Amino acid sequence: MEALVAVLGALLVVSVVWDLFESIVVPRPTPGRFRIARYVIRSSWSVFRRLGRKRGGETRDTLLGLFAPAATLFLLTVWLALMIAGYGLILFGLRDQLTPRPGDLGTAIYFAASSVLTLGFGDVVATGPVARAVVIVAAGTGLGVVALVVTFLFSLYGSYQRREVQVVTLQAAAGAPPSAVTLLETYAQLGLRRRLPDFFAEWERWAAEVLDTHVAYPLLGFFRSSHDNLSWISALGTVLDAASLILTTTKGVESGEAELFRRVGSHLVEDITNLGFGAGARSSPAAGAGMDRAAFDEACRRLAAAGYELVPGDAAWPAFEASRATYAVRLDVMAEYWATPTNSWLEPAGHLVSPAHSTTGDTEPDVYAETQSPS
């Protein structure tokens, strides 16, 4: 019986160590159905989303903004608790090698906790060789877990800050919530159309970094912007829409960098949805994605008024629709899953006067309306 209990404890410890290795050390997605971190994050996110449905406006956004930092600390607590339970089972199976001999499982778990957390009160002492080895390994793994998670936090926040700098600077040109049409209007009105290739090149590098970090550490997707009506998802969608307009609708603007960005951005959206954060998009209609011809014609009218030379609408519309179909549906499902604002296709003209105040936090779209979270 003691051997069976010790084996169960060892399996639990190995499961925690393996999950830590996959979640933090390995910088890429890892296969496997049983993942402690995956179940903890997704189940707790479902709870936060349900609470968010009962709140509105700024309160809801504040609540959801607390999730990612809280989930990181909660995940550390779960890892430590399971590790302590595992070592407690091992030491309970080896209780004949402890002095005084634990009379119940609770005492063995208490001794395991003091070992993992390196408290070392000395009221229970390992006297046998195997028990001593277990205590030493428990102390080492406890310190290792804390060190890994602290390093993980620094990495997460560094990636988050680099991601958000680009998102916030987009607000100056595209407004909040950001709009692809407004973005292109602003560049035309400020005489910056020649800088559009540089703009797309910069966002290509941004998309590549976000692709690398968010696929390696999916928890990053839950970190929300600290600014109203902004999110990395809406920023990505806005620049993808702008690139599609440049590629299919305008003439006389260098489009090579726009095409490269569209490829990297579409790859980013596809890989994120393949992780399960937008799985429902795979069965959704590919074309359209919330756009219609009337909205497209209005966008063309505004771009022409801003000074862009345009492709005839009947030729541009199917090309634009096909380009947008490669990312728009998946992007919308990602926004629904993470309960973030989606990019606004059309904003009122004349936004250039005050792009940072085109909307307020109280007008955030209701992302919960008829939304189901992908599992």
CA distance 153 to 233: 22
Q: Which of 209, 273, 218, 277 is nearest to 24 (CA)?
A: 218
Q: pLDDT digit string (tens) for 233-242?
A: 999 999 999 9
Q: pLDDT digit string (tens) for 87-137?
A: 999 999 999 999 999 989 999 999 999 999 988 777 889 999 999 999 999
pLDDT classification of 269: cutoffs 50, 70, 90? very high
Domains delineated in the chain:
2-149 (1.10.287.70), 175-363 (no CATH)
At 120 the pLDDT is 77
At 315 the pLDDT is 94
* 21 or 196, higher pLDDT: 196
Residue 251 phi, psi dihedral angles, 5° rounding: -125, 150
* 352 or 124, higher pLDDT: 124
Which residues are bridge partners to 125 per DSSP? 99
At 351 the pLDDT is 40
Q: Give the C-alpha distances (Å, rounded to integers) separating 243 from 183, 200, 318.
A: 11, 8, 15
| Section 59-71 average pLDDT | 85
pLDDT classification of 344: cutoffs 50, 70, 90? low
Q: pLDDT digit string (tens) for 245-262?
A: 999 999 999 999 999 999
Most confident range (mean pLDDT) of 36-40, 204-208, 352-356 is 204-208
Looking up tokens 């797309």 gives 200
Query: What DSSP element (H or E) covers 92?
Result: helix 67-93
At 375 the pLDDT is 31
Q: pLDDT digit string (tens) for 172-228?
A: 999 888 999 999 999 999 999 999 999 999 999 999 999 999 988 888 999 988 777
CB-count burial class (<10 Å; 0-12, 13-18, 19+) for 223: buried
pLDDT at 345 over 70: no
pLDDT at 362 over 50: no
Q: pLDDT digit string (tens) for 147-163?
A: 888 888 888 999 999 99
